[in-house]
Amino acid sequence: MMPLTQNKLGDKMKPKKFPKESISLKDEKTGNEITQLTSDKSIHHHPFFHVNSYNSDQDKLFFISHRSNLPQIMFADMDSLHLFQISDLENLNEWSINPSLDGKYIYYTAAFSGWRVEVDTGREEKIIDFQADQMMEKGMVAAAMGTTCLSNSGKWWGVTCKVAEKSRFIIINTENGESTTILEGESISHMQFCPDDDEQIFYAGPLTDRVWTIRRDGSGNQRVYEKKPLEWITHESWLPKTKEIAFVDWPNGMRAVNIDTKKERQLTNFNAWHAISNHAGKRIIADTNFPDIGLQIFDPFDENFEHETICLPNSSSVGEHWNGPFPYGKGPIKVYAPQNTHPHPRFSPDDRKVVYTSDCSGFSQIYEVSIPNHHWSS
The domain ranges of the chain are 5-232+344-375
For residue 14, what pLDDT is reported?
A: 78
Q: Dihedral of CA 83/49/152/347: which sign?
A: positive
**Residue 92 confidence (pLDDT) above 90:** yes
Are the beta carbons of 116 and 110 closer than 8 angstroms?
no
Q: How far apart are CA 45 and CA 63, in angstroms?
A: 6
For residue 134, what pLDDT is reported?
A: 81
What is the share, in percent, of the chain residues with pLDDT greater than 90?
Answer: 88
Residue 226: alpha-carbon gap to chain centroid: 23
Q: How far apart are CA 208 and CA 183, in angstroms?
A: 18
Residues 6+ apart with CB under 8 A from 261: none
Instruction: Quote the pTM value.
Output: 0.95
- Report the alpha-carbon angle 275-277-279, nearest 5: 150
**Residue 104 confidence (pLDDT) above 80:** yes
For residue 174, what pLDDT is reported?
A: 97
Query: What is the H or E stretch that residue 166 is in?
Result: strand 166-173
Q: How many contiguous H segments (helices) and E segments (strands) does the chain have? A: 1, 31
Backbone phi, psi, residue 11, to 5° = -60, -30
Q: How many residues does the chain have?
A: 378
Are the beta carbons of 184 and 194 closer than 8 angstroms?
no
Q: Predicted confidence band at 142 (pLDDT cuts at 50, 70, 90)?
A: low
Q: Predicted confidence band at 269 (pLDDT cuts at 50, 70, 90)?
A: very high
SS3 of 200-269: the string is: EEEEECCCCCCEEEEECCCCCCEEEECCCCCCCEEEEEEECCCCEEEEEECCCEEEEEECCCCCEEEEEC
What is the b/e burial string over 225-246, where b = at least 16 CB atoms within 10 angstroms of the residue's CB? bebeeebbbbbbbbbbebbbbb
Average pLDDT over residues 343-350: 98
- SS3 (DSSP) at 341: helix
Task: Put the strands of the sheet holding 233-239 in their side by side order.
Answer: 233-239, 244-249, 253-258, 264-268
**Residue 11 confidence (pLDDT) above 80:** no
What is the b/e burial string over 155-180, where b = at least 16 CB atoms within 10 angstroms of the residue's CB? ebbbbbbbeeeebbbbbbbbeebebe
Q: How far apart are CA 343 and CA 295, in angstroms?
A: 9
What is the DSSP track for 23-81? EEEE-TTT--EEEE---SSS-EE-S-TTS--B-TTSSEEEEEE-TTSS-EEEEEETTT-
Least confident of 22-26, 165-169, 249-253, 313-317: 165-169
- SS3 (DSSP) at 8: helix
Q: Which fold has domain 5-232+344-375?
A: Methylamine Dehydrogenase; Chain H (2.130.10)
- At 313-342, the pLDDT tens digits run 999 999 999 999 999 988 888 899 999 999
| Residue 190 Cα distances to 42, 201, 203, 266, angstroms | 26, 10, 6, 22
Q: Predicted confidence band at 1 (pLDDT cuts at 50, 70, 90)?
A: very low
